[in-house]
Chains A and B, each alone.
Chain A
Amino acid sequence: MVCKRTVLTEHSVHAGAHMKISLLSLLITALLFTTTGCSQDSVTTTAAGPPLPEDTGGSAKGDFGPPVGEPINAVLTSPPMVPPPTGRSQPAKVIVNLEVREVEKEISEGVKYTFWTFGGTVPGSFIRIRQGDTVEFHLNNHPDSKMPHNIDLHAVTGPGGGAASSFTAPGHSSQFTFRALNAGLYVYHCATAPVGMHVANGMYGLILVEPPQGLPKVDREYYVMQGDFYTVGRYREKGVQPFDMQKAIDENATYVLFNGSESALLGDNALKAKVGETVRLFVGNGGPNLVSSFHVIGEIFDRVYTEGGSRYQENVQTTLVPAGGSSIVEFHAEVPGTGVIVDHSIFRAFNKGALGMIKYEGPDNLAVYSGKEVDSIYLGDKAASAAPVAAAAAATASGTLTLEQQVKAGEALFAGTCSTCHQGDGLGIPNVFPPLAKSDYLNADHKRAIEVVLNGLTGPVTVNGTAFESVMPPMSQLNDDEVANILTYALNSWGNEGGRISAEDVAKVRSSTPRPQGAAH
């Protein structure tokens, strides 16, 4: 039954405004509503707002028939790049060749992890097809793999999403064919037992099934996928870190990252756009466990295709991306600067690595924003220039760390964390925060200095003859290298007496002194 235009009815039931509505008219309204059996089949209007478009019809209407023309070899890209729009108007046969490789890579400075990957990257290669395409999927497991692997594509309607047909031993290949009946942005992942472990090791990616008319044109498209990682060692503990099954079961993530490493979207790897451009992010969340509160600091999403589906919401600050799910966000760059991509479940951003950047270049637009660049105070050690810290980490790994490297790395880290209070010149703030420059307190006792950094300091303290009574919170979230480098920098700056603190010195103090309540390790 077709819905009548029920504008009148809706006004009638505004109980608050029209107190004179009689019970009878209410009853009649209710009767009309139920008997007309309002269906969703046609365009409905509400009291205010644009007409809602028809449903896409889902998989039942998604089969556009047999492929037309020559088979196409799919163009796969590594993150953060996205293949160009298919530009097709008819269903095609698309051949996808995806290779599984187990690779050891850096997950964080000086921290190595064995990832299991699709296409050699975490997340895996981006696949782009059009609704109605027939995909001939080849899964190739590299001979050097230790494990068998398979693939479950959420875009597939069929047993296991392809997993049942693609179980592949090392050095072998599997093939299966499916037709993409639903448009949308879909996660794919390995589904070999134990599934959680394969996913936790990075075996996920995105496949975009374009709607028949394609997505509206934008200037830039990027591929960002969040994942949680579980290592035996602590966050940023150096060396080769194995996977920790118990932490994964407990959902106690060590790292929460975009695109598989802390630096994947930072520094030179930051995403780029020009002022005035429209940007679209294909956002995925491989999990295995955590749901993302996806947000770009300094940006508002003009459009969010919620959960990677067909309809969009407008004007969204933060959107949820389920584990094993996706979202498409679009925004327009108005001012130059840096947008910071975060999981707004905020400890993940600042303490576990769920942080990336998108840099906008172009002329200022002071009418829109007149303030300064994103501040290091906000980002803490995340804003630290990566290069000297990386150099120090590499040198530590090879046992060749020099004083100079420590000082340079410490300088970068100090700027992010300590300068907030002690100021960039080490002079502190009179009567509030003690100076570190020419500080008798600092120079007199290095071990005490380490204790203060790790455990904090409250209560009266005299520095250079002046009394201070403030609160320094424990900086126990910094690891041993970071504390050692920061203190070494301080001791060798601003007229201090010099000296050198090693990570071992810090470790000794960490293990022999108690941390105050609520501090990190």
Chain B
Amino acid sequence: MKIFICAALLLFSGVALAARPLPDDSIYQLQDSFFNQDGEAFQLASRRGKPQLVAMFYTSCKYICPLIIDSGRGVDHALSPAERSGLQVLLVSLDPARDDVAALDYIASKRKLDRSRWTLARTEKSGVRKTAALLGVRYRELADGEFNHSSALILLDADGRVLARTEKIGAVPDQEFLAKVKAALAQP
């Protein structure tokens, strides 16, 4: 009986969520088209429903980007299995020219990312600029094709509103940020 009610509630809230308009301050308002590591097209709004960790990276990045993935992992490992199942991770490439679907797929496999929850995505150059602007990420393409970019891990709520951000990158998560992730996951 309890399970039935819980399921009904979940279904109800999911439906209710979809029916409610997207909040004004949600970054999912961006309508550009994205592709994931499996080549499937999606819009950001389709990611509504669960809290999200978002960051920007590129596959040929030598310095910080591996650390960004480690940061996402670090948060994952600090969560209980129940909490973890409620969290999604989205990494958007700064370098759509070279990060095609195959490159994203390669990295996802190489780093053994849980594809049910982790998405590596690409969009066109103008979409990259806008995504970065919405996330507060600054970047510049260098002459050799590398990028200078600010490194941040951003927590979004189930509706795509920014809840928290941290610039402390590394396998050991920023405790304050982690606390906010847990709080977001505790929401019904």
Q: In the complex they form, do A and B come into direct contact, defined as C-beta atoms under 8 angstroms apart? A: no
Give chain A's interface residues, CB within 8 Å of chain B.
none
Give chain B's interface residues, CB within 8 Å of chain A.
none
